[in-house]
Chains A and B, each alone.
With several copies, the nearest count.
Chain A
């Protein structure tokens, strides 16, 4: 029997397959394709204290092997999430992780408090490149990563995952700051800041000018950051960035990730996470692995 269970900072998942925040809504749409209970965890769209309308359209642009998005954290707010979305997700036997973003440390703390232990873990989004507040500003300096993590941790009744930005000079020092401040796990990477210009209109394609790059194009950067971080921290790592096949997922596990999240690939293949899970199982059988943590570098 294969054992795919994995413990993410105190949260036990039945398998290491998660969905990446913002690519999966609140799970409703993909539940029409397969049973969400098959997933290790659903990470919901980034939540803010109050509802947000997000940025103007166009919000997406295609790039070589990637996409840029500038949704700008459109979401119904924490209250509406708890009232309308969480009950739906609770119909399934999967962990629910709330991704949260705020304008101030206080807002993050208020959200963590309000969510209490109604969700299974909180993912601190201090790396969204698409909003001025509540975003990447918190995520690129060690001291602010430390202080926001510390503050939220003190309000947090469930495991706290800190989601890091790849737009930094040294991912390791940022990850260590989060770990020192009490983070239970780290997830990386969020999107790389990018831009695309339409040479016919001679204007940026995105209404917001810049956006976040995701998809296969960023995978080598993500694998490198997971690997570097895994050498340095003791807490578990959730790896993501361009995963589009079980082979990609295994690459992240080899790099040192304890679990993986599927983002952009959901748009390409709605069965993505399920197919990847199956592929990992087959890889383990072929290699005679019984436990997930046998997938390590030689």
Chain B
């Protein structure tokens, strides 16, 4: 875990409201695992007050760089989008527990919208997984998935590219082909992926989102519900014990 000011190497728009930023940081690039995130201080000041959590989409050890892909939502991401090459971004990372990797398993990554971003580094590590990518209308980072995945299928809600409908429909048709599925995206999508996996006894890992304070495990504001060994439900930290959880353990209801 490092707290650093990283140089912005590039910050480019990929789609309407979606940007990709490359940061120079040997430390975070070296230590990060797929599924981890960084916690970004928006500017040197106190407005907005809180840092913003953004997943690491790519980490290149050799180049000493990490990439993030982010959606502009409110003030924080707006200000990140306005930054330019050469400026410094104050980040803490790598944070959290990423995706668990297995040897010799048949894997799929299933992403929805901006949730596809953290799956890219995972796809690189898994080497020959299949990618299921769902978008609303605009599609981004497709070529990078295609370059590294065995098979890449795409669905858009309006049918502008690929299958017209939800990506989970395509996953369901092929679920038997996999031992492990990793998913990141809107909660309803992840819930559906988890159900599909459950029905076919496929291991499923989901990446959770919660509003965060410290981002490092100290303040307990980011909890989600997990099933305990005792059968009860416990509150656990998304920032430290997650963001990735085994779908069998985490409650995706709320």
A binds B: yes
Residues of A within 8 A of B (CB): 22-25, 28-30, 32-33, 45, 53-54, 56-62, 64-67, 69, 71, 74, 215-216, 244, 264, 266-271
| Contact between B92 and A270, CB atoms less than 8 A apart | yes
| Contact between A270 and B216, CB atoms less than 8 A apart | yes
Residues of B within 8 A of A (CB): 1, 3, 41, 46-51, 92, 210-224, 233-235, 240, 254
Kindly state the separation between the CA atoms of A29 and B237 in the bound complex, as whole angstroms. Answer: 13
Q: Which of A57, A266, A270, A271 contacts B224 (CB 8 A)?
A: A57
Given A53-B234, A65-B46, the answer on whether A60 and B213 have CB atoms closer than 8 Å is yes
Q: Which of B48, B51, B221 contacts A69 (CB 8 A)?
A: B221
Using Cβ atoms and an 8 Å threshold, which residues of chain A touch B216? 29-30, 32, 270
Given A23-B214, A56-B254, A69-B213, the answer on whether A268 and B46 have CB atoms closer than 8 Å is yes
Q: What are 26 residue pairs bridging A and B, where the CB atoms are less than 8 Å apart in the complex?
A: A23-B213, A23-B218, A25-B218, A29-B218, A30-B218, A32-B216, A53-B234, A54-B223, A56-B254, A57-B210, A58-B210, A58-B211, A59-B222, A60-B213, A60-B219, A65-B46, A67-B49, A67-B213, A74-B220, A74-B235, A244-B46, A267-B214, A268-B46, A268-B49, A270-B3, A270-B92
Q: Which of B3, B49, B215 contacts A66 (CB 8 A)?
A: B49
Using Cβ atoms and an 8 Å threshold, which residues of chain A touch B212? 60
Using Cβ atoms and an 8 Å threshold, which residues of chain B touch A64? 46-47
**Residue of chain A at shortest CB distance from B232:** A53
| Contact between A60 and B211, CB atoms less than 8 A apart | yes
Kindly state the separation between the CA atoms of A59 and B240 in the bound complex, as whole angstroms. Answer: 16
Kindly state the separation between the CA atoms of A45 and B217 in the bound complex, as whole angstroms. Answer: 12
Given A57-B224, A267-B213, the answer on whether A216 and B46 have CB atoms closer than 8 Å is yes
Nearest CB of A to B219, in Å: 6
Q: Which of B49, B213, B220 contacts A65 (CB 8 A)?
A: B49
| Contact between A268 and B3, CB atoms less than 8 A apart | no
Kindly state the separation between the CA atoms of A53 and B251 in the bound complex, as whole angstroms. Answer: 15
The 8 closest A-B pairs by CB, nearest first: A25-B218, A60-B221, A59-B221, A29-B218, A29-B216, A267-B214, A267-B213, A58-B211
Using Cβ atoms and an 8 Å threshold, which residues of chain B touch A69? 213, 219, 221
Nearest CB of B to A276, in Å: 14
Nearest CB of A to B249, in Å: 16
Q: Which of B41, B49, B224 contacts A62 (CB 8 A)?
A: B49
Using Cβ atoms and an 8 Å threshold, which residues of chain A touch B215? 267
Using Cβ atoms and an 8 Å threshold, which residues of chain B touch A264? 49, 213
| Contact between A65 and B47, CB atoms less than 8 A apart | yes
Nearest CB of B to A249, in Å: 15
| Contact between B50 and A62, CB atoms less than 8 A apart | yes
Given A216-B46, A271-B3, the answer on whether A57 and B211 have CB atoms closer than 8 Å is yes
Using Cβ atoms and an 8 Å threshold, which residues of chain B touch A71? 219-221
Nearest CB of B to A46, in Å: 10
| Contact between B210 and A25, CB atoms less than 8 A apart | no
Instruction: Give the one of A66, A267, A269 with max B CB within 10 A.
Output: A267
**Residue of chain A at shortest CB distance from B212:** A60
Q: Which of A30, A32, A215 contacts B49 (CB 8 A)?
A: A215
Kindly state the separation between the CA atoms of A268 and B235 in the bound complex, as whole angstroms. Answer: 24
Instruction: Give the one of A32, A60, A61 with max B CB within 10 A.
Output: A60
Using Cβ atoms and an 8 Å threshold, which residues of chain B touch A25? 217-220
Nearest CB of B to A257, in Å: 21
| Contact between A59 and B41, CB atoms less than 8 A apart | no
| Contact between A32 and B1, CB atoms less than 8 A apart | yes
Kindly state the separation between the CA atoms of A183 and B34 in the bound complex, as whole angstroms. Answer: 51
Nearest CB of A to B78, in Å: 14
Nearest CB of B to A221, in Å: 16
- Extra A-B contacts (19), CB below 8 Å, given A60-B211, A64-B46, A269-B41: A23-B218, A24-B218, A24-B219, A28-B217, A29-B217, A29-B218, A45-B220, A54-B235, A57-B210, A57-B235, A58-B210, A59-B221, A62-B48, A67-B213, A69-B221, A74-B220, A267-B49, A267-B213, A271-B3
Nearest CB of A to B96, in Å: 12
Kindly state the separation between the CA atoms of A53 and B1 in the bound complex, as whole angstroms. Answer: 27
